Amino acid sequence: MHQESLQRLEKRLGYTFQQPALLRQAMTHRSNSYKNNERLEFLGDAILGFVVSDLLYGRYPDVTEGDLSRLRARLVRGESLAEIARALALGDALLLGAGELKSGGFRRASILADAMEAVIGAIYLDSDFSRCEAWLRQLFESLIDALPPVAQLKDPKTRLQEWLQARKQPLPQYTVLNVEGEGHEQYFTIECRVSEPALCREGSGNSRRKAEQAAAAQLIEQLDSKRK
């Protein structure tokens, strides 16, 4: 039955394995077997990072190293890989241990992302770098096309700080207004204030960092509305 799942997965991947055992290993979570997909995941992660870096380097000739890193992080982060894995229905072919299977591991983003990297490593070992690179390029070209403008990839606090520094204005001040809950269930409300122009906005989140980011995002939106 699982062999049929792997064959269906091959069709969705658009790649037929000469060594089917590699695909089976790529789909085997550590909870199921000693010979799992962790080594393939390690290999696939390195290949993916290089190929995506090369794609971005060619696509964005005038972008700085820092922005290229942000673009790459957006593409190869766990959430993005999990989305690709879901689109390919990788979860249908995963081999999980009883515990992970019962807890819905075939839907878990981290497991799907790891399996996606393992598939990349498996395709490389089954063919060669050129074939694997071509497959990855085809997979990621549309995702690169859909990337937002480079400036939007920076987190709100960074964007706000850079906006103020470019105008030689004082940096924003963040003040905790309220903390609710206890321990790991705390919820923060934070104020972000700038002096030139004199503006302040509030943001909330389940960590101080998230609340600060939310407040900065609100203030950026206010600055943008004033410029229009």
pLDDT (tens digit, 9 = 90+) per residue, 10-52?
Answer: 999 999 999 999 999 999 998 888 889 999 999 999 999 999 9
- CATH number, residue 55: 1.10.1520.10
Of 100, 114, 117, 126, catalytic: 117
Confidence grade of residue 152 (pLDDT, cut at 50, 70, 90): confident
Q: In the block, which residue shows the tokens 């049929």?
A: 4
Are the C-beta atoms of 224 and 201 separated by less than 8 Å? no
Please give the pLDDT value at position 149.
82
Mean pLDDT calculated for residue range 146-162: 83
Q: SS3 string of 41-95?
A: HHHHHHHHHHHHHHHHHHHCCCCCHHHHHHHHHHHHCHHHHHHHHHHCCHHHHCE
Q: Dihedrals φ, ψ of 164, to 5°?
A: -70, -40
- pLDDT of 150 strictly over 90: no
Q: Are 136 and 59 found together in one domain? A: yes
For 85, counting Cβ atoms within 10 Å of its Cβ (0-12 exposed, 13-18 middle, 19+ buried), the class is buried
- pLDDT of 228 strictly over 80: no
Q: Are 74 and 140 found together in one domain? A: yes
Q: In the block, which residue shows the tokens 């060619």?
A: 58
Please give the pLDDT value at position 17.
97
| Residue ending a domain, choose from 115, 131, 147 | 147
β partners of residue 204: 189
Residue 96 DSSP code: -
Amino acid at 165: Q
Strand boundaries in 50-186, DSSP class E: 173-180
Q: Which two tokens stand for residue 205?
A: 């989140």
Confidence grade of residue 173 (pLDDT, cut at 50, 70, 90): very high
Q: Are 189 and 213 found together in one domain? A: yes
Q: Are 124 and 168 found together in one domain? A: no
Strands 173-180 and 199-205: unpaired
Q: Are 110 and 170 found together in one domain? A: no
- Look at the chain and report how many structural domains it folds into: 2
Write out the residue range of the structural domain in which residue 217 sits: 154-227
Of 45, 100, 126, 133, catalytic: 45
Q: How far apart are CA 122 and CA 104, in angstroms?
A: 24
pTM of the model: 0.73
Q: Are 6 and 96 found together in one domain? A: yes
| 119-123, 130-134, 186-190: the lowest-pLDDT one | 186-190
- pLDDT of 184 strictly over 80: no
Q: How far apart are CA 111 and CA 31, in angstroms?
A: 11
- pLDDT of 1 strictly over 70: no
| Residue ending a domain, choose from 147, 174, 193 | 147
Q: How many CA atoms lie within 13 A of 97 on its CB side?
A: 10
Q: Are 121 and 59 found together in one domain? A: yes
- Examine the residue annotation and report whether 117 is marked as an active-site residue of this protein: yes
Please give the pLDDT value at position 102.
74
Contacts of 114 (CB under 8 A, 6+ apart): 29, 37, 38, 41
Confidence grade of residue 9 (pLDDT, cut at 50, 70, 90): very high
- Examine the residue annotation and report whether 92 is marked as an active-site residue of this protein: no
pLDDT single digits (tens) 86-102: 999 998 999 888 887 77
Q: How far apart are CA 187 and CA 41, in angstroms?
A: 36
Please give the pLDDT value at position 181.
86
Please give the pLDDT value at position 227.
63
Helix, strand or coil, per DSSP, at residue 178: strand
